[in-house]
Amino acid sequence: MTKIKAILTDLDGTLYRCPKYEAEIKRLTLEIVSEKLGVSVEEAQHRLTEARKICVTLTRSIEYVGVSRHYFYDELSKRLRYTELLKPDPKIAEFLRQLRSMGYKVAIITNSGRPHALGTMGALKIPLDAVDALITSSEVEPKTSPKPYLRGLELLGVPAKETVYMGDRVEDEVKPAKELGMITVLVSNQEVVSPWVDYVIDSPFKLLEVLKKLEAC
């Protein structure tokens, strides 16, 4: 029997989805990268698209084209109008607290830098104390590196095989979690069959059903 002790979850696209917010982040990303590199927005877009083919995640692609992720997320957090674009969703904090009241340790692992992650969480009304830990790319290398996952396990004091990782992207974040031995849950509206994915749910709140199944094994 596998006794699950902890949940590591991604933030963006997993605990919430907001296309309008994502579109504005995309626009600002091109603005910041083009300014920093001294190239047109079109050229910045081209370089990022090419980088993404190699680096998989946006955060790593931004670094690949020559902009530090720390600079990028600082700038993004200064320019993004968080509370205008993202509405509070008290269900998320309630869900995270519910998981903890059931005895699970919970950490958010995001490739965002800390100021941007806190801006997003603030707008959604997810207080820091709703989770046991928040791991961002300000402290540790971003996913797809194993480092943020290992930091999460270390902070929560749990082994990988007793941990569930929940995210919305297979190659970017679920694959490294599976490679470390975690049980993986993909949040997706589509049926996905992948050796890296153990369960697919169309809403993060359905994680409770997955945990029930796992506890019954």
DSSP state of 184: E
**Min dist. Cβ of residue 56 to Mg ion (A):** 12
Which of 10, 75 has the CB closer to Mg ion? 10
Q: Which residues of 77-115 are buried (b: 16+ CB within 10 A; e: fewer)?
A: beebebeebbeebeebbebbbebeeeebbbbbbbbbbbb
Q: Minimum distance from CB of 51 to Mg ion (Å)?
A: 18
Nearer to Mg ion, 12 or 132 (CB): 12
The reply to whether 13 sits near Mg ion by the rule CB under 5 A is yes
User: What torsion do the CA atoms of 7, 11, 17, 18 make, to the nearest 10 degrees?
Assistant: 160
Q: Is 12 in the site for Mg ion (CB under 5 A)?
A: yes
Contact segment (CB under 5 A) with Mg ion among 4-12, 38-46, 114-122, 204-212 equals: 4-12
C-alpha count within 13 angstroms, C-beta hemisphere, residue 58 = 16
CB closer to Mg ion, 17 vs 100: 17
- Distance, C-alpha 23 to centroid of its chain: 17
Is residue 16 part of the contact set for Mg ion (CB under 5 A)?
Answer: no
Could you tell me if 96 and 134 are in contact, meaning their C-beta atoms sit under 8 angstroms apart? no
d(CA 72, CA 200): 32
Q: How many CB atoms lie within 10 A of CB 40?
A: 11
Distance CA 165, CA 180 (A): 10
Nearer to Mg ion, 12 or 63 (CB): 12
Our CB check for Mg ion shows the closer of 108 and 158 to be 108
Instruction: With CB under 5 A as the rule, give the number of residues binding Mg ion.
Output: 4
SS3 at position 165:
strand
- Residues 140-199 within binding reach of Mg ion (CB under 5 A): 168
Among 4, 8, 9, 10, which residue interacts with Mg ion (rule: CB under 5 A)? 10
* Residues within window 38-97 making contact with Mg ion, judged by CB under 5 A: none
Using the rule CB under 5 A, give the single segment among 8-16, 26-34, 73-81, 99-107 that binds Mg ion.
8-16
Residues that bind Mg ion in the complex, under the rule CB under 5 A: 10, 12-13, 168
